[in-house]
Amino acid sequence: MSTLALCIPARNAEVYLPRLFASVARQTRPFDEVLVYDDASSDGTGAIARAHGATVVRSNENTGPSTGKNLLAARANSDWLHFHDADDALFPDFVEHAREWLTRDADVVCFAVEDRDHDTDAVLVRRAWDDAALARDAARYAILNTITNCGIYRRSTFLSCGGFDVRPETKYNEDQAMHVRLALSGLRFRADSRPGGVLYQRRNSMSSGNRIECARAHFHVLATVAERTGRQYADALGLELWKLAGVCGTYRDWDYVRRALQLAEQLGYAPAEAENPVFRALARIHPFGAVLAREQFVRWFKPALRDGVPTAS
């Protein structure tokens, strides 16, 4: 019978781990093993994990979650892996549903997720992934959709592909970097529409507190795909690069605006559609000027849309 491990990267997470472990205890069917990566925590993270029966792998140097998850994957004994952030939680039937997939023809199964407000527990949004699109072309889907890391992964194929990308430049977009890597390596993807994880949104988390770093990391993921595949996914990459240029423009990160547009041009992509014909025409003549002009227009005539948006450093 195939087995399933829960792998939790954690740094100074003693405030959050009790909630996660409570959801682990409520599972209708248990995990076969639970491992926690204590990433040089200065609080009681390791002690709390041990008190809940987890195997703790301790690092005395802060390495980041991607390195930690790869180490847990190598340390686990189970056939399948589920990675879960320390500040989130699980639906009580996650393991029961996950076990239905363990003997099926797949390497990666992406479960739906529910985003909730950390302070109020209010549901913000529910997200599910397209099973047919993933089965048809997982790489294209992973380029166009940042799949949240709430899935299960066949350990042998996950490790053979190198697992999480540990490069510093992809640190803030690790989920997409990993899923794109696995997809480009030929792993078989499926999706389950049933929710598996609860993702708590809070201020100043790794993602919400570092928006421009997330955008820059997204560029490096897209650039890596372009390097590996050439123009095979030029349409999908170009679309995402133009979106990214707009995001970077809101932070006045003109360096990354140029990088994104230059890569889109190298791929032979120009925006065929835009929100208005003036921008579309200008984008074909002078891409950078189009993004700059649109951002300046927003700041002049709709300044409220940029309240609280910092300028990139």
Model confidence over 147-156: pLDDT tens digits? 988 999 999 9
Q: How much is the pTM? A: 0.92
**Quick one: 294 exposed, middle or buried, by C-beta within 10 A (0-12, 13-18, 19+)?**
buried
pLDDT digit string, tens, across residues 53-104: 999 999 999 999 999 999 999 999 999 999 999 999 999 999 999 999 999 9
**Are 73 and 44 within 8 A, CB to CB?**
no
Q: Band of the pLDDT at 273, cuts 50, 70, 90?
A: low
Radius of gyration from C-alpha coordinates of the chain: 21
Total domain count, the chain: 2
Whether 106 and 140 share a structural domain: yes
Whether 168 shows a pLDDT value over 80: the answer reads yes
Residue 51 lies in a domain: yes
Most confident of 172-176, 274-278, 291-295: 172-176
Positive or negative, the Cα torsion across 169, 73, 96, 98? Answer: positive
- Indicate whether 278 pLDDT > 80: no
Domain end: 201, 233, 260, which one? Answer: 201
What mean pLDDT comes out for the span 166-183? Answer: 96
- Local structure of 142: helix, strand or coil: helix
What's the CATH code of the domain at 57? Answer: 3.90.550.10
The answer on pLDDT for 128 being more than 90 is yes
**Confidence band (pLDDT; 50, 70, 90) for 209?**
low
Which one is predicted more confidently, 7 or 278? Answer: 7
Burial class (CB in 10 A: 0-12, 13-18, 19+), 19: middle
N-to-C CA span, the chain: 52
Q: Are residues 46 and 126 in the same domain?
A: yes
Look at residue 290 in the predicted model and tell me its pLDDT.
86
Cα gap 135→109, rounded to integer Å: 10
User: pLDDT-derived band of residue 205, with 50, 70 and 90 as boundaries?
Assistant: low
Q: Can you tell me the mean pLDDT for 179-196?
A: 97
Residues 35 and 146 in one domain: yes
Specify whether the backbone of 193 is left (phi greater than 0), alpha (psi in -120 to 50) or beta: alpha
pLDDT at 7: 98
Q: What percent of the chain has pLDDT over 90?
A: 81
Look up the domain containing 54 and give its range.
Answer: 4-201
The yes-or-no verdict on residue 29 having pLDDT over 60 is yes
Contact 195, 112 (CB under 8 A): yes
Span 130-137, average pLDDT: 98
Are both 190 and 124 inside the same structural domain? yes
pLDDT band at 207, cuts 50/70/90? low
Q: Is residue 206 part of a domain?
A: no
User: How far is residue 201's CA from residue 20's CA, in Å, rounded to a whole number?
Assistant: 14
* Beta pairing partners, 310: none
- d(Cα 274, Cα 250) in Å, to the nearest integer? 17
